[in-house]
Every structure is written in structure tokens, then in C-alpha cells.
Amino acid sequence: MGRSFEYAINLSENGFSVSPALNSILGYLKPLKK
């Protein structure tokens, strides 16, 4: 699961569109990674 999460985060950071639900999850997790 962690690996697919990292992959999705990398995609979103590179400007690829992801599903709205996943996008909102990533928006919540990104500040926690910094």
C-alpha cells in the first residue's frame, strides 16, 4: 500500500490528474510528509 501511495503522490506532483477522492487524500497527506 505504501508503495502505491508513493506512486500516486509522485504522479500528482508531476501534474497528472488523479481521482478526486485520491486527490483529496493526497492533499491531506502531503503536508504530513514535509
Q: What is the pLDDT of residue 26?
A: 76
Q: What is the pLDDT of residue 18?
A: 56
Per-residue pLDDT for the chain (34 aa), expressed as one digit of tens each?
Answer: 578 778 777 766 665 555 677 778 878 887 776 6
Q: What is the pLDDT of residue 10?
A: 75
Instruction: Residue 8: give the domain boundaries.
Output: 2-33
Q: How many domains does the chain have?
A: 1
Amino acid symbol at 12: S
Contact 20, 3 (CB under 8 A): no
Q: What is the pLDDT of residue 23?
A: 74
Amino acid symbol at 10: N
Opening angle at CA 16, ends 34 and 21, nearest 5: 70
Q: What is the pLDDT of residue 24?
A: 81
Spatial CB neighbours of 18, under 8 Å, sequence gap ≥ 6 = 8, 11, 12, 26
